[in-house]
Amino acid sequence: KQEVTQIPAALSVPEGENLVLNCSFTDSAIYNLQWFRQDPGKGLTSLLLIQSSQREQTSGRLNASLDKSSGRSTLYIAASQPGDSATYLCAVRRILTGGGNKLTFGTGTQLKVEL
Amino acid sequence: DTGVSQNPRHKITKRGQNVTFRCDPISEHNRLYWYRQTLGQGPEFLTYFQNEAQLEKSRLLSDRFSAERPKGSFSTLEIQRTEQGDSAMYLCASSLDSSMGVAFFGQGTRLTVV
Average pLDDT, 10 consecutive residues per value, chain A (115 residues): 94 96 95 94 91 94 96 97 97 85 94 95
Rounded CA separation B37/B111 (Å): 10
DSSP for A28-96? Answer: ---SEEEEEEE-TT--EEEEEEEETT-SEEEETTEEEEEEGGGTEEEEEE-S--GGG-EEEEEEEEEE-
Is A49's CB within 8 Å of B106's CB?
Answer: no
- Whole-angstrom distance, CA of residue B48 vs CA of residue B56: 5
User: Rounded to whole angstroms, how far apart are CA atoms A84 and A72?
Assistant: 22
For Cα atoms B5, A40, B94, give the angle at the middle one, nearest 5 degrees.
Answer: 30
Question: Are A90 and A101 a contacting pair, CB within 8 Å?
Answer: no
Give the model's pLDDT for residue A95.
85
Asked if A112 reaches chain B (Cβ–Cβ under 8 Å), the answer is no
Q: pLDDT, tens digit, for every residue of B65-105?
A: 999 999 889 999 999 999 999 999 999 999 887 666 678 99
CB contact under 8 A, B53 and A98: yes
The whole-number pLDDT of residue B99 equals 60
Nearest CB neighbour to A97, from listed B33, B56, B100: B56
Output the pLDDT for position A52. 92
Q: What is the mean pLDDT of chain B?
A: 92
Is residue B1 predicted with pLDDT exceeding 60? no
Is A40 within 8 Å of chain B by CB? Answer: no
